[in-house]
Structure 1
Amino acid sequence: MRYFSRLLVILWTVYRYGLDDLALSTLKRRRFRFLRSLITLGRAWEQPRGVRMRLALERLGPIFVKFGQLLSTRRDLVPPDMIEELSKLQDAVPPFPAAQSRALIEQAFGRRIEEVFEQFDAEPVASASIAQVHFGRLHDGREVAVKVLRPGMLDIIEDDLALLRTLAGWVERFSADGRRLKPREVVAEFNTYLHDELDLVREAANAAQLRRNMDGLDLVLVPEMVWDLCTSQVIVMQRMRGVPISQVQRLREAGVDIKKLARDGVTIFFTQVFRDGFFHADMHPGNIQVSLHPATFGRYIALDFGIIGTLTEVDKDYLAQNFIAFFRRDYKRVAELHIESGWVPPQTRVDELEGAVRTVCEPHFDRPLKDISLGQVLMRLFQISRRFNVEIQPQLVLLQKTLLNVEGLGRQLDPELDLWATAKPFLERWMDEQVGWRALARQVRDEAPRYAKLLPELPRLLHDALRQRAGGDAERTMRALLQEQRRTNALLQGLIWGVLGFTLGLLAAQFWNWH
């Protein structure tokens, strides 16, 4: 009943804010126009559609807010008036009361807030779907940011995920395309990431790992965690000062090289994905700032590490080979990789899949980013995947989402950026490090401690192996001799019993003749 009531809330919210009208307005067939007229009969809205969309998503909760955050980066798919409103979801979700935030902090630390902070700003500086942030200063003078988890989030998310699981089950049951898209596995992945985001200690650990990975790249700053003040509901970190990356004009007036900033964003993304296999997977503009401090001028500042994506070595190798094949327009290799990986049935003809991929990708090369719509490319690829029964890989859902974020960010910073040309040299260098002589040298270096331990033991291990082999041969020989001896004994026993029986027979016959 709780899930049913949540479904009613969603349907009522859709009806109240006219989202059904927005959905039907995109359908041009006559019967849909009639249905729209019937549904909207007697209904009118004072607020613009973008405001209605934002308010509805805010009312529906964190999962829907995150969906709106993703839409806010897609200026090629969403009208400008809706983009402006959805962008407010980045860091302007209505906050919960300051007194409640203070109580949560004191409960987490087990002491009064004045004992922890020399100064604490009661009003939050940012309020997002999962938590809100306050600024403060510790007694040792360090300026910090305090992130507090929204109360009651777990129950809300559980209800929404239960509805998503039910919907995914219906899709798989009634749609062949749905089964191919693996919606239940996708929901399971989403479930994992959302629950990870509800544990702020895990977020702090993600930030620490990303900070170590990015150390030395000199392109991005990650706040340092105050581990003594990190709990599952409240974490305290170094305060970062920067300008939101969405304020492009302000950055340009401050002297930031916007074109370089766009290229650096691509480099950071591919470094995290292909070098580390550990990437920030919530890269909407609300989570990214740019430093104007002289010592770190022009560097990215990453915030909010609740959603982190990971890739295995197999995933990274597969993706890198696909990217390079795309960049080189080697569509045959792309088709072969899909077949080798098992994404398409093994009986698929390589030449047919190659031609389909070429049809989608070829028109988009040698064009600036402003003229390339990844949304349109994905739509065409979906049509191809349906034709060739391509299975969507759930473990790559976060990577696909992050790619959309990177495209939206790149379009905002530099519409002339050629994403493909920027990424190609980086990927080629990465592949050379993975499969070339440098990869062999690195593997030998990494394995050297193990080799150093095993080499002195090698003669003894070899001797033991030979002795076991020899012992095994001797044992097999002994078993064969015993088996042969048993056969010989059985034969001799048979002969003895045969002779004895024959002799007894002769004696019996002689005795009969005497009588």
Structure 2
Amino acid sequence: MRRVGRAVTIVWVSLRYGLDELVLTSFQKPWLRGLARIASIGRDLSAPRGQRLREALERLGPIFVKFGQVLSTRRDLLPPDIADELALLQDRVPPFPADVAIATIERAFRRPLASLFTSFERQPVASASIAQVHFATLTDKNGREREVAVKVLRPGMLKVIEQDLDLIHMMARWVERLSADGKRLKPREVVGEFDKYLHDELDLVREAASAAQLRRNMAGLDLVLVPEMFWDLCRSDVIVMERMHGIPIGQVERVRAAGVDIPKLARDGVTIFFTQVFRDGFFHADMHPGNIMVSVEPATFGRYISLDFGIVGTLTQTDKEYLAQNFTAFFRRDYKRVAELHVESGWVPQDTRIDELEAAIRSVCEPYFDRPLKEISLGMVLMRLFQTSRRFNVEIQPQLVLLQKTLLNVEGLGRQLDPDLDLWHTAKPFLEKWMLEQVGPRRFWRELKEQAPYYARMLPDMPRLLHGYLQQRPVDDLRRELRQMMAEQRRTNRLLQAIIYGGIGFVLGLLVMQLIVRLRFIG
């Protein structure tokens, strides 16, 4: 009954804001447009369509607001008026009362607000679908006055989200049963991933931990700033962090007027994304413009400032290697290798013809190379790949859904900053360096260092284990084994020289392999 009630609410809101009329008028058929005019009779639909869509999404709740946030970065797929309105969802969702926020803070810490902060701004600086942020000041342990940002979870969020997720899970089951593509698309697994990450957003301590991890990972890159967390003031529904000063990245003219190198800023964004994905396997997965600023402070001028770490993505070493090989093959236009990787990973059936899949991938990707980003729509590329994949029964990988979403966000930011940015050319040097580190002596020595503690723990036990083994063997057997060992020693001596030369050959082979990989990238 809860699902039915929520479904009725969704239908009512859609009709209330005229979303049915908006959809019908988008068709070319005259009779559908006529139906839209009839449906609008008796309703006040004088407000602009973008405003009506934004207000409907706000009315429907956090999941729909997040959907609008993702759409707002795709200006190449939306009319400008709708894109402009949806951009307001990024940090201008209607706030909840300050008294409610203060009550939540005092309940979380069991202390009055005045004992926590020396000042507290009742007017929120940002209000999003899950929480809102207030600026404040406090005195730290060293007696210094610190400017902080206080993030407070919206009240009653869990109940609202679970109602919507119940409906989405039900719709996913219907799609899987009724659609021919249902099994291949894995809708239930995809929704399960979305469910997990959405619930993770409701635990602000988890967000604070993710921010701390990203801060450590990015410390040596000098391209992005992540706020410091005040762990004594972090709870599941309230967290306190360092206040960051900068210009919202969506205000490109202000950023340019401040003297920031815009093309470099766009390239740095690509570098940050690929570093987080391929080096760390831990990436900020909610990179819409509302969560990104640009520092204009002298010490950190031109760096990105990341905010809101409620959604982060993780990749295994296998995922990273597979993706890196795919990207590298794409950059080299080696579509046969891309097809082979799809088969090797199990994304397509083993009996798939490589030459047919290769030809299909080439027809999708080849037209987009050597063109500036303003002439490329990654969304259209993905759409064409999706249509092509139906023919080959490609299975969607739920663990990569967040990565795909983040890649779209990065593309949207890149297009907004520098329409002439060549996404492929910018990413290629980074992937080249990463791939070279995955083969050759560097990886060998890195893995040897990683395994060294394991072998160090084993060595002290070796004498005891050897003594126990010898005690269990009869003396005659030991003598016979000793004679055999002495007889084999001569062969061992002869082999020793071959082993030494083999080791030298192995090292030389690794160096040659690294040289070949480098030459293939250059070619």
**TM norm. shorter chain > 0.5:** yes
- Cα separation, 2, equivalents of 1:130 and 1:402: 19
| Residue aligning to 1:385 | 389
Is 1:213 aligned with 2:242?
Answer: no
> Given residue 305 of structure 2, which amino acid in structure 1 is its aligned partner?
I
Deviations 1:266-290 (A, max 9, x none): 0000000001010000000000001
Cα deviation for residue 291 of structure 1 reads 0.5
- Cα separation, 2, equivalents of 1:416 and 1:51: 31
| Residue aligning to 2:441 | 437
Is 1:314 aligned with 2:318?
Answer: yes
Cα deviation for residue 222 of structure 1 reads 0.4
Deviations 1:353-405 (A, max 9, x none): 00000000000000000000111111110111100000000011000000000
Deviations 1:30-58 (A, max 9, x none): 55445434433444511101101110111
- Cα separation, 1, equivalents of 2:470 and 2:167: 62
Distance 1:207 1:37, change over 3 A: same
Cα deviation for residue 97 of structure 1 reads 0.6
- Cα separation, 2, equivalents of 1:469 and 1:58: 78
- Cα separation, 1, equivalents of 2:124 and 2:225: 22
- Cα separation, 2, equivalents of 1:220 and 1:247: 18
Q: Select which of 245, 253, 266 maps to 1:241.
A: 245
Deviations 1:166-197 (A, max 9, x none): 11111111011122111111111111001000
- Cα separation, 1, equivalents of 2:468 and 2:433: 45
Q: Determine helix, strand or coil for the equivalent of 1:137.
A: strand
Is 1:50 aligned with 2:54?
Answer: no
CA contact (8 A) 1:73 1:284 kept: yes
Deviations 1:287-310 (A, max 9, x none): 000101000000000000000000
Q: Select which of 357, 363, 366 maps to 1:359.
A: 363
Distance 1:467 1:107, change over 3 A: same
| Residue aligning to 2:112 | 112
Is 1:173 aligned with 2:150?
Answer: no
Instruction: Say what the alpha-carbon RMSD is for the aligned residues.
Output: 1.8
Deviations 1:148-167 (A, max 9, x none): 00001001000000000111
Structure exhibiting the larger radius of gyration computed from Cα positions? 1
Is 1:90 aligned with 2:90?
Answer: yes
Give the percent of matched residue pairs that are identical in Structure 1 and Structure 2: 72
- Cα separation, 1, equivalents of 2:471 and 2:253: 77
> Given residue 368 of structure 2, which amino acid in structure 1 is its aligned partner?
H
Q: So what's the TM-score if we normalise by structure 2?
A: 0.88
- Cα separation, 2, equivalents of 1:403 and 1:101: 34
| Residue aligning to 2:498 | none
Is 1:428 aligned with 2:432?
Answer: yes
CA contact (8 A) 1:208 1:224 kept: yes
Cα deviation for residue 22 of structure 1 reads 1.8
- Cα separation, 1, equivalents of 2:239 and 2:31: 53
- Cα separation, 1, equivalents of 2:321 and 2:331: 15
Cα deviation for residue 449 of structure 1 reads 2.2
| Residue aligning to 2:2 | 2
- Equivalences for residues 365-380 of structure 1 within 5 A: 365-380=369-384
Deviations 1:112-165 (A, max 9, x none): 100100001011000000000000001341110000000010010000000001
- Cα separation, 2, equivalents of 1:349 and 1:467: 60
Deviations 1:296-355 (A, max 9, x none): 000000000000000111111111110000000000000000001110011100000000
CA contact (8 A) 1:367 1:418 kept: yes
Cα deviation for residue 246 of structure 1 reads 0.5
Distance 1:351 1:464, change over 3 A: farther
| Residue aligning to 2:495 | none
Is 1:137 aligned with 2:137?
Answer: yes
> Given residue 406 of structure 2, which amino acid in structure 1 is its aligned partner?
T
| Residue aligning to 1:330 | 334
> Given residue 101 of structure 1, which amino acid in structure 2 is its aligned partner?
A
- Cα separation, 1, equivalents of 2:425 and 2:54: 36
Q: Select which of 146, 157, 169 maps to 2:150.
A: 146
- Cα separation, 2, equivalents of 1:364 and 1:90: 30
| Residue aligning to 1:273 | 277
- Cα separation, 1, equivalents of 2:299 and 2:443: 34
Q: Say which is worse superposed, 386-395 or 428-437, in terms of deviation.
A: 428-437
- Cα separation, 1, equivalents of 2:459 and 2:354: 47
Q: Say which is worse superposed, 3-12 or 329-338, in terms of deviation.
A: 3-12
Is 1:184 aligned with 2:185?
Answer: no
> Given residue 252 of structure 2, which amino acid in structure 1 is its aligned partner?
V
Cα deviation for residue 62 of structure 1 reads 0.4
| Residue aligning to 1:222 | 226
Cα deviation for residue 467 of structure 1 reads 7.3
Is 1:450 aligned with 2:450?
Answer: no
Deviations 1:71-99 (A, max 9, x none): 11001101111111111001000000111
- Cα separation, 2, equivalents of 1:73 and 1:174: 31
Q: Select which of 323, 345, 351 maps to 2:349.
A: 345
- Cα separation, 2, equivalents of 1:470 and 1:260: 75
Which stretches in structure 2 are left out of the alignment for 5+ residues?
Answer: 478-523
> Given residue 36 of structure 1, which amino acid in structure 2 is its aligned partner?
A
Is 1:62 aligned with 2:66?
Answer: no
> Given residue 102 of structure 1, which amino acid in structure 2 is its aligned partner?
I
- Cα separation, 2, equivalents of 1:464 and 1:261: 65
Cα deviation for residue 23 of structure 1 reads 1.8
Distance 1:465 1:423, change over 3 A: farther
> Given residue 4 of structure 2, which amino acid in structure 1 is its aligned partner?
F
| Residue aligning to 2:123 | 123
Deviations 1:455-476 (A, max 9, x none): 45445545656877989x9xxx
- Cα separation, 2, equivalents of 1:308 and 1:237: 18
- Equivalences for residues 393-408 of structure 1 within 5 A: 393-408=397-412
Q: Determine helix, strand or coil for the equivalent of 1:229.
A: strand
Distance 1:466 1:242, change over 3 A: farther
Cα deviation for residue 236 of structure 1 reads 0.4
Q: Say which is worse superposed, 60-69 or 136-145, in terms of deviation.
A: 136-145
- Cα separation, 2, equivalents of 1:205 and 1:218: 21
Deviations 1:466-500 (A, max 9, x none): 877989x9xxxxxxxxxxxxxxxxxxxxxxxxxxx
CA contact (8 A) 1:76 1:373 kept: yes
CA contact (8 A) 1:432 1:439 kept: no
Q: Determine helix, strand or coil for the equivalent of 2:450.
A: helix
Deviations 1:408-460 (A, max 9, x none): 00000000000001101101111111222211111112222222333454455
Q: Select which of 154, 157, 160 maps to 1:156.
A: 160
- Cα separation, 2, equivalents of 1:179 and 1:255: 52
- Cα separation, 2, equivalents of 1:399 and 1:203: 18
Q: So what's the TM-score if we normalise by structure 1?
A: 0.89
Paired positions, count: 473
- Cα separation, 1, equivalents of 2:430 and 2:463: 45
